[in-house]
Structure formats: structure tokens, C-alpha cells
Chain A
Amino acid sequence: NAGVTQTPKFRILKIGQSMTLQCTQDMNHNYMYWYRQDPGMGLKLIYYSVGAGITDKGEVPNGYNVSRSTTEDFPLRLELAAPSQTSVYFCASRGTTNNEQFFGPGTRLTVL
């Protein structure tokens, strides 16, 4: 199993550009999550999904959108990038019976 994979690893955007951060898991997990981690800070939940076709907002959803058309994929969309979205983004998943989350390696995004 590859676990949770994220692409790209790094990206630099200009203000106003858009992009999609990809996240895929091969563990057949129902639950998937997007977090952002700012320097010296903990993780803040952006969006989460409890299954294909179902998404919900977390603590900091503004400026982001998600979709969950399949169990495996949970892309995060930034429509109009702003400097405040400079961060490291982590995707995670967990199964219905497992309680722990499994994390991807992260995407480091810089908006200039």
C-alpha cells in the first residue's frame, strides 16, 4: 500500500492564481481530511469528508473548496490564491473502525 499520497510536493503561486492539491489514499478509508499547518502552529482543519459525495467544513474553510467523487480521491481547490494561504497542507484519512488518521507527506505552498 502506498498509503496517502499528495501532489505536488512544492508549489509557488502568484496572488489570484488557482490550483488544485491532489490527495489519494489506497486503504479504502471512508474519512478524509485536509489540514493546513502554519509555521510554529498546530494543524487546522480545512475540510473533511465522511464518504464519497459528502463533504463538510472544518475550522478554516474560507478560500478553499473540495469534492469527493470517489472513495480514493479528495482534491483541495484554491480559487484565488492569497498570501494568507501560504502554508503546508496535509491530507489524511482513516477507516471506520480505526481511530487514528494516516497522513500524507504534505504540500508546501507559497503565494507571492
Chain B
Amino acid sequence: AQSVAQPEDQVNVAEGNPLTVKCTYSVSGNPYLFWYVQYPNRGLQFLLKYITGDNLVKGSYGFEAEFNKSQTSFHLKKPSALVSDSALYFCAVRDINDMRFGAGTRLTVKP
């Protein structure tokens, strides 16, 4: 079965600094990879996806993610973090009919 792992429970960065939220995947075949964000007391919101094509994928709110096949990674990045980026971030991989989510990484951006 397809799976993803998020090795960090928590990431702390200062406002204005670059941020990275890590995700590694394990799949058979070509991966369909996703990032979602969850703000407090809200549902998950789609940020971006990789299906095929360029390894650098751009998404909502200035986020981007880099697909690296040799390292089986799909890290989420942003060049300059905002306090409003503080939230819970989930990496996910599409399985046959459903989606497998990572455990989530809580990002805190401090002013």
C-alpha cells in the first residue's frame, strides 16, 4: 500500500525565514502526492499536488514543493514564512480509491 511519513511533529521558524516541512513517501508505481493545511477548528485545505511533470510544484499562499524521486521525498517549502502560516500541515499520497495521510507537522512561525 502507498504511504507517506512526516518525520517532524513540530517545526518552528522565525517570520521572514524560509521554511521546510518534510515528507517522504513509499509507493509502488508513480506517486500522486499532495499537501494540505489545517487551521484551528477547520477542515483540511488543499495546497498543491504532484502528479507528473516539473519536480517543483507551486501552490497556494506562496508554498511550493519539490518532488525528489531518488530520495523519495516531497518537501513543502516557502521562501519567507508568515505568522499566518502557523497551522497543521499534512502530506498525502493517493491510493487506488482513497488517500493516505501522514501524521501531520505543526508549523509555528514566530514574529
The contact size tier of chain A is 20 to 34
The contact size tier of chain B is 20 to 34
Given A101-B46, A102-B46, A104-B43, are A43 and B101 neighbors across the interface (CB < 8 Å)? yes
Bound CA span A106–B97, Å: 21
Taking a contact as CB atoms under 8 Å apart, the answer to whether B43 and A99 are in contact is no
Taking a contact as CB atoms under 8 Å apart, the answer to whether B45 and A99 are in contact is no
Given A42-B90, A43-B90, A105-B43, are A99 and B34 neighbors across the interface (CB < 8 Å)? yes
Taking a contact as CB atoms under 8 Å apart, the answer to whether A103 and B32 are in contact is no
Interface assignment of A90: CB less than 8 Å from any CB of chain B: yes
Hey, which chain B residues are within 8 Å of A56, CB to CB?
97
Taking a contact as CB atoms under 8 Å apart, the answer to whether B102 and A42 are in contact is yes
Given A31-B97, A99-B49, are A90 and B102 neighbors across the interface (CB < 8 Å)? no
Hey, which chain A residues are within 8 Å of B46, CB to CB?
100-102
Taking a contact as CB atoms under 8 Å apart, the answer to whether B104 and A42 are in contact is yes
Main secondary structure on chain A at its contact with chain B?
strand
Interface residues as binary, A96-112 with B (CB distance below 8 Å gives 1, 0 otherwise):
00011111111000000
Question: How distant is B51 from chain A, measured CB to nearest CB, in Å?
Answer: 6
Hey, which chain B residues are within 8 Å of A92, CB to CB?
44
Q: Which of B42, B44, B51, B103 has the most CB of A within 10 A?
A: B44
Interface assignment of A74: CB less than 8 Å from any CB of chain B: no
**Which of B45, B49, B94 lies in contact with A103, CB distance below 8 A?**
B45
Q: Which of A4, A100, A105 has the most CB of B within 10 A?
A: A100
Bound CA span A105–B97, Å: 22
Given A41-B103, A42-B104, A43-B90, are A103 and B43 neighbors across the interface (CB < 8 Å)? yes
Binding site for A on B (CB under 8 A): 32, 34, 36, 41-46, 49, 51, 90, 94, 97-99, 101-104
Binding site for B on A (CB under 8 A): 4, 31, 33, 41-43, 45, 48, 50, 56, 58, 90, 92, 99-106
